[in-house]
Structure 1
Amino acid sequence: MCELLGMNANKPVETGFSWRGFKHRGGVNGPHRDGFGVGFYRRDGYHDFHDVRASVESPLADLLGQDNIPALIMLGHLRQANEGSVEIRNTYPFTQAMKGRRWCYTMQGQLEEFEVLELSGRFTPLGTTDGEHVFCWLMDQLWQAECDDVSGVCELLRQCGDRLSRMGVFNMMLSDGRTLYTYCSKKMCWLTRRAPFGTVTSLDSGEHIDLEAHCDSDTVYTLLATTPLTSESDWQDMHPGEAMAFCNGERCDVSSPEAVLA
């Protein structure tokens, strides 16, 4: 399956360190060699980059790590293809526009008989993956529900995620440029950083970085990933069936199944 990386911050945060470690999972520390993509929400708008090459072999992936792009939200994806050929149109993140905002989506998993999810035609896949079909279906659900508040979106995504999880494995991240949402079917984790910052080590590359030299004292940001990215002990696992929302660098909402709440 694929690998996910996400970040939400209260002010622009340099993304190079996280990306430089993460990209090793695309061919060195993992079998995810069928392309990659990363989307950034910056103060000047949304930007994304895609390549069909494995991230460990891609000059573009190297450049993204070197440029250290500052962003408020980031969604990264390393692909291990199961549905859809290896081509640019099948690389995440996928995007759609709704109500004046650009929505960005990544998924890790595999769903059986995803074609039973009927699409209205308002949101149309460009590629042939199960993930993009599901993304368009999710956008249909959000459009029809007219959810404008974070809690409403988070709860709807949990309900949709519960249905999709019965079709297979479904871990995902979704953002409208203000909030980063995530749903866990099987495996996801997260970590919030704030001052005082220290030195951390990438589990994938072994690189060390002094976060104090790269973050302001009032910076707060959260990282999300399929598995922990760094040696810090503060990584927290999501519960299966749980949806979360992150705003301004911190968790701002959670929707959990009754089994977790009990």
Structure 2
Amino acid sequence: MCELFAMSSRQAATVNFSLEEFSRHGGLTGPHKDGWGIVFFEDDDVRIIKDTTPASTSPWVRFLEDHPLRSQIVISHIRKATLGELSLKNTQPFTRELGGRQHVFVHNGHIPGIQDPKSFELGFYRPLGTTDSETAFCVLLGRLQHLWLASDWPPTSAARVEVLRSFARDITSLGLANFIYSDGELLVAHGHRRRQEDGEFGPPGLHMLIRECPHSDRSFETTGLTVAPLDQRVALFASVPLTDEPWRPLAEGEVLAVKDGETL
């Protein structure tokens, strides 16, 4: 199965990101060797890097280590292909514009029923590739479209989160449905089930860690993050804990919305 990683922070931070540890899972210490990708939100747009080679050997991971990027929202994915050939169009994260914002989605699981047009309407958006994950993203955008194109723009956080909750409830009936989504302001994570170390499928499908860094007079480095001398709060999500810190497992079906590192 794939693995997910995301960060939401009060102040822009680098994610050298446990990037080293996370990328090891992409073909070195884990079987997720079918490509990887990462998105950094910046100025209402995104910087995106995707590669079909394993993250553990990708030159783009080395590039990011040598050229660290700062962002308040970062989303990443390492792939173990279950549906769709090895190609960039099937590599996550997936991005689309809606309502003048970039929207980003990553999914871990298998939900083939999402591609049944009788049950899940695509609306305006169509997938470029052949994965169930990208189809799910297009379905989600179709449900969000009326909010983002309404006259009272931008939509409220509560309205957006309710659409995400309803979407999560619907797709969990199809299979394994861990996902992370962001519109550049909110980051929303849904934990479901995934294959555990004993080979059985069950919760947790995602873990969360909060780091708080009080104001200081100088920069310092903590595991995976370089923090400027500012009051900082960081929310991290990962399929499996990336450090020995107290990561909290999300309950099956739990949806969390985060803004600037704060849980809403």
**Taking structure 1 as the reference length, what is the TM-score of the superposition?**
0.86
Structure-2 separation of matches of 1:149 and 1:225: 26
Structure-1 separation of matches of 2:43 and 2:232: 16
Of 146, 150, 170, 2:177 maps to 170
1:115 paired with 2:111, answer no
Structure-2 separation of matches of 1:51 and 1:199: 28
Any idea what SS the aligned residue of 1:159 has? helix
Mapping 1:8-87, distance limit 5 Å: 8-43=8-43, 45-87=45-87
Structure-2 separation of matches of 1:71 and 1:50: 17
The aligned counterpart of 1:258 is none
Aligned residues: 241
Cα drift, residue 66 of structure 1: 2.6
The aligned counterpart of 2:202 is none
Mapping 1:182-261, distance limit 5 Å: 182-186=189-193, 187-196=205-214, 214-233=227-246, 235-252=247-264
Cα drift, residue 17 of structure 1: 3.4
Task: After superposition, give the CA deviation of every residue in 1:112-142 in whole Å (9 maximum; x if it has no partner).
Answer: 322122211x111111110000000000011
Cα drift, residue 144 of structure 1: 3.5
Matched AA of 1:96: R
Structure-2 separation of matches of 1:190 and 1:113: 28
Task: After superposition, give the CA deviation of every residue in 1:37-85 in whole Å (9 maximum; x if it has no partner).
Answer: 0000024731100000001111112212232211110000000001110
The aligned counterpart of 2:157 is 150
Please tell me whether the aligned partners of residues 208 and 249 of structure 2 are also in contact (alpha carbons under 8 angstroms): yes
Any idea what SS the aligned residue of 2:6 has? strand
Structure-2 separation of matches of 1:84 and 1:42: 30
| Runs of 5+ unmatched residues, structure 1 | 202-208, 253-262
Structure-2 separation of matches of 1:44 and 1:177: 7
Structure-1 separation of matches of 2:21 and 2:228: 18
Structure-1 separation of matches of 2:33 and 2:136: 22
Structure-2 separation of matches of 1:2 and 1:88: 15
Cα drift, residue 92 of structure 1: 0.5
Greater Cα offset, 146-155 or 27-36? 146-155
The runs of at least 4 consecutive aligned structure 1 residues that moved more than 4 Å come to 196-201
Change over 3 Å in CA distance of 1:119–1:50 after alignment to 2:
same
What is the percentage of aligned positions where both structures have the same residue? 31
Structure-1 separation of matches of 2:8 and 2:23: 19
Matched AA of 1:19: L
RMSD (Å), alpha carbons: 1.9
Greater Cα offset, 190-199 or 91-100? 190-199
Greater Cα offset, 188-197 or 99-108? 188-197
Matched AA of 1:118: E
